[in-house]
Amino acid sequence: MQREEKQLDSALEAIIMRVNDLKTSIAAMIFKLEHEYETLNWPNFLDNFALISGHLTSLSKILGHDKAPNLRNLTVLPLRLSPEKDDDLLRLTEGRIPTFAHDLVPDYLRTKLEPQAEQKMMQLEAKAATVNMDTSHKQLTQYTKVISHVWDIANKAREEWESEAGARATQPPSSNATDTAALLAAVYLGKGLKSDSMQMVQSGVNSVTNSMMVGRPGGQQQTQGQGPMGNQPMGQMNKAPSAIKTNIKAASQIHPYR
């Protein structure tokens, strides 16, 4: 009896530790879902879910161990029921159960499911019993194919995303932020431009404007001494030199009737 009691105590202590770890993980996950839902991403959610799954697996291993006592053969009985507030019970249950009264004992010491849940489970079991074995195998095979197809799509999308992210990370930059900011400041604010440079730009603009006005019909004529030919008269300013010699005669000399 003493050996069995020691094994029971050690098993209960290990179970309580695992249950506390599981409870802490579930509370942390609920806190993130309620308060950090804007910044919570899918990988962090999967990490929390994997942590909870790991605690459940450890708890199942402890319960299924050979040296662990069979808790199904044990019965929990209340030693004292009181409608008054119990501080020790409140501390042990972390403020959830203030009293251990007659109306709370059936709920907290229940060894079966609640009546509504039990009725729902019976309906599902009856529905599953009416399904033919071949039909169930076909449905299971089809469900497995669908899950495998979705898994392949998710893996392909992840590989494409990782390859695109790696390509973007290895691509050299095509611009310089400092030069771009300096260029924008020079264009919009004139920052970095000296007075000499502005005068050179203004003189270049004036020369281009004067060259465009030369020979324009109806426009302003260029004054003497400002054109590209120096101080030549206006009649000879735009006349191109000719290399062909011509002999112009009067019209009276070539009249056919004289």
**In whole angstroms, what is the distance from residue 249 CA to residue 258 CA?**
16
* pLDDT at residue 230, as a whole number: 46
pLDDT value for 111: 75
Poorest-pLDDT segment among 54-58, 140-144, 207-211: 207-211
Residues 145, 153 contacting (CB under 8 angstroms): no
d(CA 215, CA 176): 46
Contact 109, 76 (CB under 8 A): yes
pLDDT higher than threshold 50 for residue 142: yes
More reliable by pLDDT, 154 or 210: 154
Judge whether residue 27 has pLDDT over 60.
yes
* pLDDT grade for 42, boundaries at 50, 70 and 90: confident
Exposure letters 129-159 (e unless 16+ CB within 10 A, then b): eeeeeeeeeeeeeeeeeeeeeeeeeeeeeee
Span 71-83, pLDDT tens digits: 877 887 888 888 8
Give Cβ neighbours of residue 18 (< 8 Å, ≥ 6 apart).
55, 58, 59, 62
pLDDT reported for residue 227: 46
What are the angstrom distances between the C-alpha of 220 and each of 210, 215, 217, 223?
Answer: 10, 9, 8, 9
pLDDT at 234: 46
Q: Which residue type does 167 have?
A: A
Q: Which residue, chain included where needed, has tokens 């120096």?
A: 230
CATH no. of 1-74: 1.20.58.1710
**Please, what is the average pLDDT of the chain?**
77
Give the pLDDT confidence score for residue 1 in this predicted structure: 65
- Report the distance separating Cα 5 and Cα 11, nearest Å: 10
The pLDDT score that the predictor gives to residue 144 is: 92
pLDDT tens-digit series, residues 82-134: 888 888 888 888 888 888 888 888 888 877 778 888 899 999 888 888 888 88
Q: What is the mean pLDDT of residues 29-42?
A: 87
Under 8 Å between Cβ of 236 and 229 = yes
Q: Which pLDDT tens digit goes with each residue over 145-191?
A: 999 999 999 999 988 888 887 777 776 777 788 888 888 888 888 77
The mean pLDDT of 31-43, rounded to a whole number, is 86
pLDDT at 52: 93
Task: Please answer whether residues 214 and 227 qualify as being in contact, where contact means their C-beta atoms are separated by less than 8 angstroms.
Answer: yes
Average pLDDT over residues 59-66: 84
Instruction: Locate 199 and state its tokens.
Output: 């005068």
How many angstroms separate the CA atoms of 41 and 46, rounded?
9
pLDDT digits (tens, 9 = 90+) for 212-247: 555 455 444 444 444 444 444 444 445 555 555 555
